[in-house]
Amino acid sequence: MGKKRLDDAIKQINAPVEVTYRCFQLDPTMGTDIKENMHELLAKKYGMSIEQAVASNQNMTKLAKEVGLDYHMDTLILTNTFDAHRLTMFAKTKGLMAEMTERILHAYFTESKHIGEHETLIELAVEVGLNREEVAYMLASDAMTDEVRADQRLAQQYGIRAVPFFLLNKKYALTGAQPTDVMIQALEKVLAEQ
């Protein structure tokens, strides 16, 4: 479920809901500069043909479009996202985590920007209102590493292996892209229990 669908679900239940973003990497061992494209990676990972991988990615693009997202799976640049996660944690200290997360996701899936490169991350951070020099200094250091690793350990404790993953009230889990009505039902159930 994309942010728009989550926002729509929250509006429909008309109750205060706090969303906390967490850091998660599908493949923490991935390098920064990957030569494979998304189709090749998917084919290799799941033992499918390139044609099947292309079809799967086209389906993902179609599903994204249905909820107002413009994904470009053919041109996205695969990379290690650890520094992007460190940036979101830094943005959190400035009250801009949601904005930074959304900007990075848009840059990656829609604009095919290399979110593993520090200069790209710095430019994105400036766009959401963060200070260029502070961000550059943070990225050049190991700042926010412990915070990202803590989220990764939490994901392991919950058995999270894929995204999207929603944990509601530390009790109910929704995995994968779910229809808005499923999210609404889950949110209403949690609210009814409180």
> What is the average per-residue pLDDT within 142-159?
94
Question: Six-digit token pair at 5?
Answer: 């669908």
Asked if residue 116 has pLDDT above 50, the reply is yes
Q: Which residues pair with 174 in a beta bridge?
A: 166
CA 23 to chain CA mean position, Å: 8
Full-model pTM: 0.84
Asked if residue 63 has pLDDT above 60, the reply is yes
How far, in Å, CA of 151 to CA of 161, rounded?
13
Asked if residue 109 has pLDDT above 70, the reply is yes
Domains of the chain with CATH codes: 1-22+160-193 (no CATH), 23-159 (3.40.30.10)
How far, in Å, CA of 170 to CA of 123, rounded?
35
Contact 115/82 with Cβ under 8 angstroms?
Answer: no
> How many Cα atoms occupy the beta-carbon half-sphere of 93 within 13 Å?
14
Asked if residue 11 has pLDDT above 80, the reply is no
CA 33 to chain CA mean position, Å: 19
How far, in Å, CA of 21 to CA of 116, rounded?
19
